[in-house]
Structure 1
Amino acid sequence: MSTIHWTTGDTRQSVRWHSENDASFPRRTVVADDRTKADDAYRQACEGTALIWQGDFHNARQLLLAMGRRIDRRTPGSGTAPSESFHLHRRRSSHRALVLGKLLVLLDDEHTLELGRAPDVRQACLEAYGPPTGPTAVSLRELLGVIGAHQWRVKGVDVPALGARVHPHYGVFAPVRGEYVDLVARTPLPAAAVRSPATSTAFDLGTGTGVLAAVLARRGIDRVVATDISPRALVCARENVHRLGLTDRIEVSGPGLFPEGLADLVVCNPPWLPARPTGPVEQGVYDPDGAMLHGFLTGLSAHLRPGGEGWLVLSDLAEHLGLRTRQHLLDAIRAARLRVVDKVDTKPRHPRSKDVTDPLHAARGAETTSLWRLSPADQEGSGPRITRASPCSASSFSARWKALS
């Protein structure tokens, strides 16, 4: 941790700085309150000066919104090529995070936010940051994300494939895009798992909340091993497995990618965009150079039982954005000595796919999410068969899931 310093009256003050996205600590800090004008705050933030807020909490939120509007007014338009639009979007997002991250608030040695009309943030901060270790400065923007994550954790996300909710933790990818869960829930299980259900084993790589591991267990897989590289995800997955009453069927292991042993089915839903995250919180969205994707492909054959399959759940959004080609993916599959047994497609249903104001709308509107069924190239079987899944309602899907399980 680094220390930031500022002056209140004639008193020199200091406090530890914390950022979940590893943002560099501000070198210059001034005090801001209800009298601070949005233009002044925006100018200082753009110059690299952080503002320690000592006014009303709701006024701080309004100031943050006002600073955001000033950023939007100065935002350049989209590029002509999809990849240019994506990189401009990432640059804008990075600039926005940098500027808005300069409005700071202080948490005391009990994670209390001592501002007028401030909510009780102690539990939310405990979940995200762990036990308090003394007064800390954090960006208001990050703190609002921590509060939102706590609300998601309490409320949970409804998963029709489970007939239950899963509860994401801060920094763990939430299964709000249900189409990829539905693909795993309705794709026919490998013959090896169907022949011997009492001894069937599946691996869920990059489990996150544990939702896909739970779906596989509910479908009748006797033993599921769920892994992740994120300690937060491992804690989250264990909690959800316990909530769902599946501790006797699911083992959460890690940190790591592949567990020891062999499986009839290995499922991997890697981050879909091969770009570098700006910090740990974005690791569920961006996979630098497709490292997890290639790790899954190259290690798959060595972890499959005879007749087993690997299921790669992947969106083609990266292809529409010009970040990866379909040929690159097919070449990576062949280089790993794998073959495509089948591919099941579905269209996204999330609101952003229909948001015409999104700078990446054209790519999102054309996006397809696919489940690639893979097996070792020397394993017997017919050639690839491509199918497209039709959308289904929660009720019709529930009936189909009961039939499958």
Structure 2
Amino acid sequence: MSEAASELPRIHWTEDGTERSAAWRSEAGNPPPRRVVVADDTTSADTAYRLACEGTALLWRGDFQNARQLLNAMARRTERKPKKASRPGQKAKGAPGSATEAFHLHRLAQSQRARTLGMLLLPFEADHSVPLRRAPDVREACEQAYGPAGEPYVASLRELLGMIGAYEWRRKGVEIPALEDRIHPWYGVFSPVRGEYVDLVAAEPLPSKTLAFDIGTGTGVLAAVLARRGVQRIVGTDQDPRALACARENIGQLGYAAQVEIVQADLFPEGRAPLVVCNPPWVPARPSSPVERAVYDPDSAMLRGFLDGLAAHLEPGGEGWLLLSDLAEHLGLRPRAQLEGWIEAAGLKVLGRSDIRPRHPRAADPSDPLHAARSAEVTSLWRLGVR
């Protein structure tokens, strides 16, 4: 999970008239900034924001808590609303003209915001400690995300705050009513905070309790739900080393290690099962960070791979459970007819479908840029069989 220190890129800057460098870490895979200046408590938010927008990174040497305040001030400067329309019926300048355009503008704004805020950098020692005044002890959070460091390095404050948040998620866990217990997501592994798809799996009548495959298991939450429902053996698959380790830990803590096997595989394990479950990424777009791979799936690659391979891994009379939001349809990114065409082309038929409305706060937030699509969203469990 960790990258060897010798393989890390280097970041270079001048400080006190001396050329310096350090290892560079970015979980999003961003290259080290080409221009770096040293900043401290005397640096104003306006100056920091201007430099960041110009592509100049700021290596912080001041108080840690002041750096957090500066980042918040920079974030406020990124939150600019489109200008209001001057006449009734006229589209506001910068406002989207369709749900698809709104999505792409939203993603662009997110990308630009992440790039700008990612320009505020912190130094780290070889043990992951931050050598700044009033810096918290972040060693365990960084160790969980990066693994052993081996040498001093530089990373963005924004990424560190994400690691701290993920560390707390992992420590406290996420309550899963269907399990009457908690799942503990690791950094970079999608957290099951949207529980409606879990509820669908917990309620749908099982075609068999002998064997099930959980494709793209992530935290292992669906494998655990199936085990709790009495399925005798479950094989969960994933390709990501973090997800595999996370799922194994959760399954073990929940007491289902005797029923659930977690294996590394590209979609399907060997063999056939009477039940194959998959919750692929819901939106056909390019992810900008590792954790977004659970949400964004370029060209619907995982969805199509699951559909194309399902018939070959179902036992006669078996069912494939596809858990999918129709948000992409409301955004104009993937028509329902296209999904139905892929199902038919894969030699499958729809046996039934169960629907549920999302409960997340953004679905009811009219200020959300994608409110129109989110308010109409439905999450479905598609029961698929071989034609």
Instruction: Write the mapping of 1:203-242 to structure 2, written as runs, cut at 5 A.
Output: 203-242=213-252
1:49 aligns with 2:56: yes
Instruction: Write the mapping of 1:217-296 to structure 2, written as runs, cut at 5 A.
Output: 217-296=227-306
Displacement, 1:275?
A: 0.3
Name the residue aligned to 1:181. 198
Displacement, 1:2?
A: 1.5
Selected match of 1:305 from 309, 315, 322:
315
Selected match of 1:65 from 69, 72, 90:
72
Q: Is the 8 A contact 1:78 1:359 kept in 2?
A: no
Q: Where do 5+ consecutive residues of structure 2 fail to align?
A: 1-7, 83-92
TM-score, reference length from structure 2: 0.94
TM-score, reference length from structure 1: 0.90
Name the residue aligned to 1:99. 116
Name the residue aligned to 1:399. none
Of stretches 36-45 and 149-158 in structure 1, the one that deviates more from structure 2 is 36-45
Name the residue aligned to 1:9. 16
Q: Where do 5+ consecutive residues of structure 1 fail to align?
A: 378-405
1:209 and 1:154 map into 2 onto residues whose CA distance is: 14
Q: CA RMSD in A?
A: 1.1
Name the residue aligned to 1:18. 25
Selected match of 2:324 from 311, 314, 318:
314
Displacement, 1:77?
A: 4.2
Displacement, 1:74?
A: 6.8
Name the residue aligned to 2:85. none
Q: Residue type matched to 2:339 in 1?
A: L
Q: Is the 8 A contact 1:202 1:266 kept in 2?
A: yes
Instruction: Write the mapping of 1:103-182 to structure 2, written as runs, cut at 5 A.
Output: 103-182=120-199
Selected match of 2:99 from 61, 82, 88:
82
Displacement, 1:67?
A: 1.0
CA deviation profile, 1:14-69 (whole Å, cap 9, x unmatched): 11111101112101111011100111111111111110011111111111111111
Name the residue aligned to 2:90. none
1:271 match: secondary structure: coil
Displacement, 1:7?
A: 2.0
1:306 match: secondary structure: strand
CA deviation profile, 1:168-200 (whole Å, cap 9, x unmatched): 00010100011100000000111xx1xxx4xx1
Question: May I ask how many residue pairs the two structures share in their alignment?
Answer: 370
Instruction: Write the mapping of 1:345-360 to structure 2, written as runs, cut at 5 A.
Output: 345-360=355-370
Q: Is the 8 A contact 1:230 1:255 kept in 2?
A: no
2:79 match: secondary structure: helix
Name the residue aligned to 2:3. none
Q: Residue type matched to 2:285 in 1?
A: A
1:104 and 1:225 map into 2 onto residues whose CA distance is: 42
1:111 match: secondary structure: coil
Aligned-residue identity in percent? 62
Displacement, 1:12?
A: 2.2
Structure 1 ranges of 4+ moved more than 6 A = none
2:98 and 2:81 map into 1 onto residues whose CA distance is: 21
